[in-house]
Chains A and B, each alone.
Chain A
Amino acid sequence: MKKLLRQPWVIALILVAAAVTGWIASLSPQGANARVAGIERPPQSRSHLDHGGFFNTPLADGPAVTRACLECHPQSASQVMHTAHFRWLGEDVEVPGHKGKTQIGKRNLINNFCIGISGNWPSCTRCHAGYGWTDETFDFEQPTNVDCLVCHERTGSYAKVEAGLPQSDVDLVAAARSVGFPRRNNCGGCHSFGGGGVGVKHGDLDNSLDHPEAADDVHMGRLGFLCIDCHVTQQHRITGRSMSVSVDDQDGIGCQDCHQVEPHEDERLNAHLAAVSCEACHIPSFARRVPTKMEWDWSQAGDDTRADDPHTYLKIKGSFVYGTDMTPKYFWFNGRSRRYLLGDVIDPNEPTPINYPLGSRGDPSAKITPFKVHWAKQPYDQQTQQLIVPVTSGKGGYWHDFDWDQALRLGAERNGQTYSGDYDFASTVMYWPLSHMVTPKQEALMCEACHGARSRLDWVGLGYDADPISGGGRR
């Protein structure tokens, strides 16, 4: 036998046989199926060391937990302290329409929901991954100010109150012993509740994704994805970019990070990818189960005669319109956006975009992308024609005294703005690109959703003369 194996033709024969076997195997239907999903990088399964045996002394407060964590993970706090999750501020960027470079982030931007955090710190920083941010003097260089538990604990009983401190009845030792890789409800605890309630802000993130069905989100519901499967994290730097607090697509995540560049069997569908984002067809609607806020009118606030109803009117916040299973609006988007910065002058007769997706039909890097569009009426100074961040929560805030003048004066002071005392409410609009709540492929949009007589797209608004089905796409 040994002699036989030394014969070159026997080896050649074995190699040929192996090649032929491989080829035959590729002809079998299983071989073909493996390609159907078009997945190039399936998610990893990961195991985490059980911390149940650690933390044998009582832990007095949040920083005490962090100190205990740092005993074994000395680098972790400093890693977190350099991220936007802790600093709420990004790197220097050029903001379109503004000179020079600025650092922008939650810390200094305004939105058209609760408007801005300056002056409202304790209330807003409930969602800060840190402890004790009550005013502008907060120490961002103090490692024990980092909150490890909010992302890593798995008891589900951890809750944060004002300034991000743990609620007094939380069993910190139990929480510390439960730590592991972040699960969906760790991330969702803040990101699903942005804007002051479940589903308010994003429209594609709410607590229906804690235990989703396939129809809610095919990745999380059918395949059990965790957030960190896509938001790949190294040294506490979490990838992903939100257009509400940034103006570029650095560290952004794309479908094609995992999926093939030409994922469809149908050439015609693949041809669409030159101009249409994956999300446009695969996120046919948002807020499918939990309502999201579509409109917010601050000017209606303070009316004692109206009954409070969290989905239509609150005296402290004004009136709202919520929507469920909403159809997105579609715009060209190249990953960069325009941004309103404090101090920018507005035209009160026109709706002011707080942010706005950049891109056009003529921009080859832009794709038609689905957005949630949020409209609001929020206060501005009629003299300076600038939007003002009011103080809402806390002492002297609007929610206590229902006095806009006082709230705006205090807010302007804390933000270094001038306030003339002459305020009114202006229309503003924010654009939230949709990337979660991807449906199973059977539910993806079909041709007639965009083409033909009943199109959901505004072709003229997108820069076409008419539906390009007969005239062809952009060239």
Chain B
Amino acid sequence: MRRSIATIGAVTLLTCALSTPALGASKLHPRFPVLDAAGEHIQSSGQPPDSAATCGKCHDAFYIDAHSSHVNSARQADCFDCHVEDVAAWSAEAFDEDGLLRREVVGVGSATSERCGRCHGLVVLPGEPVSLPEDYASVRQLDIKGFRYGLSVTTGTIYSGQPVSKSYVNLENKGELSFPWDVHAERLVGCPACHAAANNPAQAQTGRGKLSYIGRDPRTPTISAYLEHPDHRLTNASCLSCHEPTAAHDFLPHQRRHFEALACQSCHVPQVFAPSLAWQDATVVDLRGEPLREYRGFETTNEPLGSAFGHGHAPFLVPWETADGNRKVGPFNPVARFFWVDEQGAQVPQETVRRAYTNDGQYWPEVLALLDKDGDKVLHADELVLRDTAAVQLIASRMAALGVVGPRIRGLVDAFPVVHGVTRGRGVTKKCGECHATGSRLTGDITIAARLPGGVAPEIGPRLKTWRGGRVEASGASIRWTRDAETSDLYVFGHTRVSWSDRTGLFLFALAFLGVLSHGSYRFYTRKRRSPHAVRTERKYLYSAYERIWHWLMAAGVLALLVTGFQIHYPAQLHLMAFDAAVTLHDVLAVVMVANAFLSFFYHLASSAILQFVPDRRGLMPSLLAQVRYYTQGIFLGQPHPTAKTAQRKLNPLQQLTYLTLLNILLPLQVTTGVLIWTGSRWPEALAAVGGLSIIGPLHNLGSWLLLTFFVVHLYLITTGHTLTSNLAAMIDGYDEVEVPSSGTTADGGSRA
């Protein structure tokens, strides 16, 4: 009974497998004769079919060869590789008397993801669980061409619509990873959707023209012309070929800047969950004869990858220079590869390397003697490395004995952009702090390989050469990417620290704070020496309702701007609100502030109150000195204020100077730098003309330190009125308790009346 169920199951599975076309086989493709290279029917000649002879009858095989990204010196794909369901089905019985293939075995159609996956990367079809195949690791070449899982191994991405949580890959907290390996696979957007024949009229809308002013060329070839001359230089559609990012990022402050500075994958591929290769060392072999490898995101000690424990891995975010000369930040996986080459530079076959190391499943005794550092007769991964000249020479001489001429070690290191494996939902990061924080993903050196066989400096591959903001260092026992301490042109808020700005600001603030503290303490200490009623006072209406409103609006605004500003600058240290909330708030408050400042400017102008801020040039020095003398001496002795406060003259000369500086220098500085930062992506020329973000950002930061300094001093000086709170009370209800000068105490009291 049980067996019969199993049989039924197997039959059902088989039927499913057969009825599911592995290829998008077309129902329309005509029947045709299958020819060999000599142009003879294969059923009579018995020779293998030849695609140029067979397909070339109708499709221009010469043109296709000349216009194909799959035909080059490294690889000669033929039509059958991508377009025929099963060439083996073309047996002698597959043909009718007329010599044409029977309808049901034609099986010709467009390429599919499954077919691309046979050469390029791990593609898992719907209904099959994602698991790591045994040969996942068998990387032979450091490129996506020529080995099966290249794209997956070099980037850690898998093309499958299955949720990561349902795969067979042994991942930490897998249950929470309820998003697909690849959202495009999930949504049935196959490889050919982005990598299509360049002149396919059905795909024409995805290919943008070469002319800058042509978005889409409507003069597409007719279907028949296309089928005769399909341009096989496949397109590389970018995200923007299909997506309209501005329609989907409402939550993101400063969208344009983000789109300009970031590859979409920076946020949309925040983690990869397949093992991504860090390095492969073929200068040594393990006992299976395989090179040594290390993967990012997976613990691979002894067990096969299929059951190894993985955590996933956040690809390295690195600034790089795009082909058109722009600077962007995007995710990469750098890979180092070490191998033996002979005199001609040809790679020594793995089999030869294996024979140099092992015999009959054991290391040769002399190899073991040289490499077994801890003497336990077993070569562990950290011992299996050619560290010194002696080791290199031993293996080189053994290889020479096996017939390799002039063996030497070659190292290659390159970076692979993580462009696939795009996910959705919870898989996409919205955490600003991944970049906007002190210890963010933009920080820290990258260890590309924790070994450097033979000390040979590796050649740097073309994509690694586009990396910016650091340099490759190969020394000692590792290859690293060392980031520059202060990147010159990548200013990331919350992440970038510019020492001159922070230090100057902090210094001035600390100075003011200490000054206020000591002044206050001394006032407190001397409080009993002063008589509280030494001077006569009078209650005067000093501040109109509008003046009070704008003052408090300004105070609240500056305070809120300072708080949000510091939240943006120190997101990892302050946790008052979310980063994006702080940015939005800061932007909005800035507009409110500027509007408030403009209204009050108009008020002061219209009501001539602006004259309050203009110091009287005559007698300025003496009155200034008197004010300074008051703050340094008189205040401790309980002397009256040197400047009388009247409705016409509310500010003492020291205040006048301070506010003049504040309103004419600091405020415009903050507004200008703020506007430049805000509009930096809309008018980048304006920002660049004044030194770019790396100058303007720190300047704005310094300005905020100065405002904070002012704020502290201002708060303290409020307490220096007739009583501790009389100034504060005045700014609330408008009435101040002002000292009435006894005649002769000041030179200029009320002189302006």
Contact = CB atoms under 8 A, between A and B. Distances in A.
Contacts of B531: none
Contact of B161 (A17, A266, A447): A447
A28 interface: yes
B578 interface: yes
B186 A448 contact: yes
A3 interface: yes
Contacts of B584: 27
A149 B746 CA distance: 97
A295 to B, nearest CB: 16
B517 interface: no
Interface string A444-462: 0011110111100000000
Interface string A1-45: 001100101000100010000001001110000000000000000
Given A28-B578, A442-B165, A454 B585 contact: no
A443 to B, nearest CB: 9
B188 A452 contact: yes
Interface string B689-723: 00000000000000000000000000000000000
Interface in B117-138: 125-127
Contacts of A265: 425
Nearest to A13: B552
Given A9-B545, A13-B552, A24-B585, A29 B578 contact: yes
B24 to A, nearest CB: 9
B581 A27 contact: yes
B20 A453 contact: yes
B21 interface: yes
B581 A469 contact: no
A9 B549 contact: yes
Nearest to A267: B248
Given A3-B733, A446-B163, A448-B126, A24 B188 contact: no
A447 B186 contact: yes
A454 B20 contact: yes
A7 B544 CA distance: 13
A4 B578 contact: no
B126 A24 contact: no
Contact of B581 (A7, A9, A24, A268): A24
Interface string B576-606: 0110110011000000000000000000000
Contacts of B75: none
B732 interface: yes
Contact of A452 (B16, B126, B548, B733): B126
Interface residues of B, number: 29
Interface string A263-280: 001101000000000000
A4 B732 CA distance: 8
B220 interface: no
Nearest to B553: A13
A454 B552 contact: no
B163 A442 contact: yes
B655 interface: no
A27 B253 CA distance: 12
A446 B180 contact: yes
B187 interface: yes
Contacts of A452: 126, 188
Nearest to A29: B578
Contacts of B545: 7, 9
B178 interface: yes
B161 A448 contact: yes
Given A9-B545, A446-B163, A446-B180, A27 B578 contact: yes
Contact of B585 (A27, A29, A447, A469): A27
Given A4-B733, A446-B161, A448-B127, 8 more contacts: A3-B733, A9-B548, A13-B552, A442-B163, A447-B186, A453-B21, A453-B125, A454-B20
30 contacts: A3-B733, A4-B732, A9-B545, A13-B549, A13-B552, A24-B581, A24-B585, A27-B577, A27-B578, A27-B581, A27-B584, A27-B585, A28-B578, A28-B581, A29-B578, A268-B187, A442-B163, A442-B165, A442-B178, A446-B161, A446-B186, A447-B186, A447-B187, A447-B188, A448-B126, A448-B127, A451-B188, A452-B188, A453-B125, A453-B126
Interface of A: 3-4, 7, 9, 13, 17, 24, 27-29, 265-266, 268, 442, 446-449, 451-454, 469
8 smallest CB-CB distances across A and B, nearest first, come from: A27-B581, A442-B178, A448-B126, A454-B126, A452-B188, A448-B161, A454-B127, A453-B20
Interface of B: 16, 20-21, 125-127, 161, 163, 165, 178, 180, 186-188, 424-425, 545, 548-549, 552, 556, 577-578, 580-581, 584-585, 732-733
